[in-house]
């Protein structure tokens, strides 16, 4: 068979070659004979189709992604998109203390010697979005009453600033009717409630992250004698977390340093207001 070395395939022919090869499993040698081109030419057409250099009829809009980023390989295009999305998803902080408080609950492992009636205890945490100030407490269950007691006695009694909003998942300890204990405490103190999307608790990322930090730096590294000892060590860790531990999201500062700086400048502004 005589093959002209400059034989060129039209776009619709390239599309048909790709279809025959992928859908009907036609061999490369048969495609070369059908279109009167060499096998390297067929291989080149198939390669360009895989890399989306030309757009077959059944292709998606991936070609437009490649044109935009000036890339040939689809893997590089997708990586570039992911990198761009990560760059856009920068850490954010609210603008003042108490603007939003993230809360969450974690079931703690059973301690040696705990009775069957009180096998599991639950860790309640809250973290201020602006300063990353941490509050935490251990309760015998994760009921609405434990959540209400945690908010009232562990947070509001100690917190030196007004809480405007509490952000949580849709757990029954946080969400309910008007008579719900946790909701009642929020109403009493004029605190708004916001919730994560249904079945997406990971959107409460700050609370999820601080729980992981607590488990890694406090619970997993301490041998507790009993429940009271665990509560005592939790209080010690909270003090370390708020006053000593530097936070990358706060540019190396501690939560207390951020709060001190905020209220210092706020007082200065009032004096010169």
Is 106 in the same domain as 215?
Answer: yes
Let me know if residue 82 belongs to a domain.
no
* 35 and 107 belong to one structural domain: no
Does 181 have pLDDT greater than 60? yes
Contact criterion met (CB below 8 Å) for 98 and 155: no
* 45 plus 156 within the same structural domain: no
Number of structural domains (the chain) is: 2
Q: How far is CA 19 from each of CA 25, 30, 45, rounded to the nearest angstrom?
A: 9, 14, 11
**Predicted local distance difference test score (pLDDT) of residue 1:** 45
| CA 79 to chain centroid | 19
| Domain boundary pick from 33, 51, 71 | 71
> What's the pLDDT at 29?
86
- In this predicted structure, what is the pLDDT of residue 76? 64
| Average pLDDT of the chain, as a whole number | 84
149/147 Cα distance (integer angstroms): 5
Co-location of 14 and 110 in the same domain:
no
Do 102 and 129 contact (CB within 8 A), yes or no?
yes
Give the CATH number for residue 4.
1.10.10
Same domain, 35 and 125: no
**190 part of a folded domain:** yes
Do 66 and 128 lie in one domain? The reply is: no
Same domain membership, residue 172 and residue 243: yes
Do 18 and 120 fall within a single domain? no
pLDDT band for position 183 (50/70/90)?
Answer: very high
Q: Residue 83 falls within a domain, yes or no? A: no
What average pLDDT score do residues 17-39 get?
A: 87
Q: What does the pLDDT read at residue 84?
A: 57
Q: Higher pLDDT residue, 240 or 271?
A: 240
Is residue 198 situated within a structural domain? Answer: yes
Query: What pLDDT was estimated at residue 243?
Result: 95
Are residues 196 and 65 part of one domain? Answer: no
User: Is 42 in the same domain as 124?
Assistant: no
Which of 147, 128, 111 shows the shortest CA–CA distance to 210? 128
| pLDDT for residue 94 | 84
Mind listing the pLDDT tens digit for each residue in 143-172? 999 999 999 999 999 998 999 999 999 999
pLDDT digits (tens, 9 = 90+) for 68-111: 555 555 566 566 666 655 544 445 678 999 999 999 999 999 88
Domain range enclosing 4: 1-71
Q: What pLDDT score does 79 carry? A: 65
Which pLDDT value is given to residue 224? 93
Please indicate, yes or no, whether residues 161 and 262 belong to a single structural domain of this protein. Answer: yes
């Amino acid at each position: 068979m005589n093959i002209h070395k400059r034989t060129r395939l039209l776009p619709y022919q390239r599309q048909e070659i790709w279809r025959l090869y992928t859908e009907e499993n036609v061999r490369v040698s048969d495609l070369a004979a059908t279109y009167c081109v060499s096998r390297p030419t067929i291989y080149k057409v198939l390669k360009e189709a895989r890399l989306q250099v030309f757009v077959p009829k059944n292709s998606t809009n991936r070609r437009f992604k490649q044109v935009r980023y000036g890339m040939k390989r689809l893997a590089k295009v997708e990586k570039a998109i992911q990198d761009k999305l990560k760059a856009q998803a920068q850490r954010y902080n609210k603008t003042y203390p108490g603007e939003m408080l993230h809360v969450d609950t974690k079931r703690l492992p059973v301690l040696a010697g705990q009775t069957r009636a009180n096998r599991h205890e639950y860790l309640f945490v809250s973290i201020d979005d602006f300063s990353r100030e941490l509050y935490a407490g251990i309760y015998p269950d994760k009921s609405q009453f434990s959540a209400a007691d945690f908010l009232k006695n562990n947070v509001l009694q100690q917190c030196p600033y007004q809480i405007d909003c509490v952000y949580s998942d849709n757990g029954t300890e946080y969400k309910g009717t008007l008579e719900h204990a946790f909701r009642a405490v929020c109403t009493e103190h004029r605190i708004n409630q916001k919730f994560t999307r249904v079945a997406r608790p990971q959107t409460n990322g700050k609370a999820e992250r601080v729980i992981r930090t607590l488990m890694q730096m406090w619970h997993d590294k301490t041998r507790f004698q009993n429940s009271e000892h665990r509560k005592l060590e939790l209080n010690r860790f909270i003090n370390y977390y708020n006053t000593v531990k530097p936070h990358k999201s706060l540019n190396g500062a501690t939560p207390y340093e951020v709060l001190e700086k905020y209220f210092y400048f706020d007082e200065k502004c009032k004096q010169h207001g």
